[in-house]
Amino acid sequence: MIKNWIQKKLTQGECKTALKEMEVFLKAIKAKNDHEMGMLVAVATLIRVNLADNGGLPKAVLAGSGTPREFKNSQLYMTNLIREFQKRDQPFDAAGGMVWLHSLKVQNYPELTERMLEVWSELKRGFPLAEEKFKEIAKLTGKKTPKSALKGYAYLPSGIV
């Protein structure tokens, strides 16, 4: 009984922290113009495609059907990836990773769904510009944009549609 109470308190604390972090992220992306949102959508899509293709995250997690433990482990993985992007001074990559980190958190904390819907509403502003931004990224990196990214930039995570 005490163990359950402690676990509930810890979970409530984690959820409150996740909500605060998501609100900071939402405020930041609301301040972005549509071209910046297009770039964020393109970068987040490339990160998702790369993670799916290279096994960085389980396919079940990306499909929204993972176990609570898989979602927690994936959140930890994304947190570490974001920190690595930040260390390398790659703010757009870090922001792209945050899109998926926050999306994953909704799976463990359904209370965050409403706020995440707001995040995706903002991200949708970038959908019309995503293909243009893929071209810019390809020009900068010299790497061809994967077809799955070109076809999947308007992908919405489970529970967001």
Residue at 17 is within a domain? no
- Give the CA distances from residue 89 to residues 50, 85, 94, in Å, rounded to whole numbers and listed in that order: 20, 6, 9
pLDDT tens for residues 131-157? 999 999 999 999 999 999 999 888 887
DSSP letter for each residue of 31-89: TS-HHHHHHHHHHHHHHHHHHHHHTSS-HHHHTT---HHHHHHHHHHHHHHHHHHHHTT
Residue at 8 is within a domain? no
Q: Which domain holds residue 89?
A: 24-152
Q: Which two tokens stand for residue 137?
A: 């990224």
Domain count, the chain: 1
pLDDT tens for residues 97-114? 999 999 989 888 889 999
Residue at 9 is within a domain? no
pLDDT tens for residues 34-62? 999 999 999 999 999 999 888 888 888 88
Asked if 47 and 93 touch (Cβ cutoff 8 Å), the reply is yes
Asked if 18 and 105 touch (Cβ cutoff 8 Å), the reply is yes
Which DSSP letter does residue 144 get? P
